[in-house]
Structure 1
Amino acid sequence: MNFQHTEDRRMLADTLNRFVSEQYGFETRDRIARSAEGYSRDLWTRFAELGMIGALFDEADGGFGGGGFDIAVVFESLGRGLVVEPFLDTLIVGRAIARSGNEAQKAMLGELIDGSRVVALAHNEPDGHYELARVTTRAQRNGETWRLTGAKAVVQHGEHASLFLVSARTHGNDDEEAGVTLFLVPRDTAGVNVRGYRKIDGGRAAEVTFDNVALNDNALLGAAGAGFATLEYAVGCGVLALCAEAVGTMDVAKDHTLEYLRTRKQFGVPIGSFQALQHRMADLLLEIEQARSAVINAAAALGAERRLRERAVSAAKYSIGRIGARVAEECIQLHGGIGMTWELPLAHYAKRLVMIDHQLGDEDHHLERFIALGRG
């Protein structure tokens, strides 16, 4: 199988990397990440105009990509710039709508692709521990409406989203796959409450509660009680995206560390000439290439049948969690004390690698999941 990028993907990668390098430097990123909004509306629109969002969706949905390698190309570029704009949730929510939405719901994809609508996944719950099927938020039928009650945690860009994709349980036990239902809930619906806060790695998230929110059947995404397969697929796309982002982040951390080893001197010579440090750096480069291979494998499997796809994305996320932590630790140690300072970009890259491990399931969760999927 040929894993080389097509000419179109190489051109896209070159364009995105150049834009991120020239327009999204560290000082710009740091200012955006610390801002009250947690992202830049202007840059979000410019990213859309460049096609960075459109590349995440199939032509049938208004995009021009949509494959696993398209997702990987875009998010690797985002990782190089520590971009905080709402790409991840746009991907997850958009792919869920594309997979299970009706005609009216799919018509919204154009607003996602052109950047005019911000959406957010509201699935995580305080006691969920990454298990997709564990949903305690409830939606009960009440005549012609559904009544939605519950709380969601760490909703990315939740303050600024105009639409939430919400997982709720309409029947069954709290950890059963059957009975999970997906709803598209407008932010301004009565009973929706949002409390925002800053994230440790930049940008903002929110706690979202639903207090007896009234919804009609038009809010259903797919059939009632049958939302788990759509949720699993869409989150799988998000896991691949995070893994590709981590590879881009690792590449920059590696480059910064190599540059430091070439310029920092002890005893009148660059410390990069010391054999012990050369061996540590060589080991690190091999680990990063292993992470890249895991992302390639996951990207190739995204269109495969469910078990093969999910094993590949869990294997990649496990590898990224383990290797990302090592890259963060080694790069900081090779820099010495300066590696921990807020002013040095490296510290932010290391922090992002650690936080990626905790998004959409950490390495322990995905290792257990990979083993369970292997049992059939």
Structure 2
Amino acid sequence: MRTKVAIIGSGPSGLLLGQLLTEAAIDNVVLDRVGKDYILGRVRAGVLEEGTVGLMDQAKSGAHMHAAGLPHHGFSLAFDGRDHRIDLYSLTGGKRVVVYGQTELTRDLMEHREASGALTVYDAANVTPHDFDGASPYLTYDKNGITHRLDCDFIAGCDGFHGASRKAVPQGAIRTFEKVYPFGWLGILADVAPVSHELIYANHPRGFALCSMRSETRSRYYIQCSLDEKVEDWSDARFWDELRWRLPENHAEAMVTAPSFAKSIAPLRSFVAEPIRFGRLFLVGDAAHIVPPTGAKGLNLAASDVFYLSNALIEFYGHRSEAGIDAYSQKALARVWKAVRFSWWMTTIMHRFPNTDDFGQRLQEAELDYLVQSPAASTSLAENYVGLPY
């Protein structure tokens, strides 16, 4: 079998890239080691920058997002018992974010891909890139006990942090940068109305908390926890009590609780690989970089990678120009590092670190107070949160 672009991974980045290429009449095949049900069973972030929303529209997959997504014109920063709203819309000249679950976005892209007739191979085991340093790359994979070969012009590695794409790169050809944070996020999902119609980021001496949502009737809440915590030690009652501790009184009193139907602990890390182009193999999304979820950048960074790569491939097939391909790694990483910085900064000012004493807590509160009082500082926060331009 042969295609123009072989895409490893059917998460949002792989499906979005595939659909943008399909809309541009560029043949592509998506492969994934797991099945559709497993992919759609994963619960991930859901705050979309305007650039991500625009790419979904360009891929002709944004109709349900516009119907069911929740436009947010601001969010709240809570600290020292106070609550301050960051007005994204006014600070950025009319920009906003849209809250829309990654599972729903993935389903939209899957359904549109199936309707367009483009090929996705699920349950493809041992996917391996070959000869991507030359002019004739190809993939091998196993399915139903048979080894298959997929010849192609280019390979897009959209298969996540633990995927095969980055592992296929020779060790000396890649450099990685990493910071592992000394805490995690304990998160729950509950079918209950959110405590606020916009997100709340809370700094508290007991640790960070985040009040988010997936819809007007489904809430997603997080609290900072140590990495040695176990999910089974956290009853729903204990979680709700701890969350209330960390919120300003008005939100704590307004919160409505319900039994959770999902509960997990996620470690936090910052990770970047350089470069992210190796001959005819390109790394995209989590295969290339990871950010802590504090700044809501993970999915959006994957989308910005897709923007640069899809434009480069469309330029190659439309004009036989390799300029975009040659510039992909540099352009994508320039934006990645700015988002990595923002996510690191948000994480450092909002969380309680093991060495954070009372002095450190006061410094965080002073920085947050300056942040919300200074129009210039608030504007910088808002510009980064809604997403820097591509």
TM over 0.5: no
TM-score, normalization by structure 2: 0.28
Greater helix content: 1
Greater strand content: 2
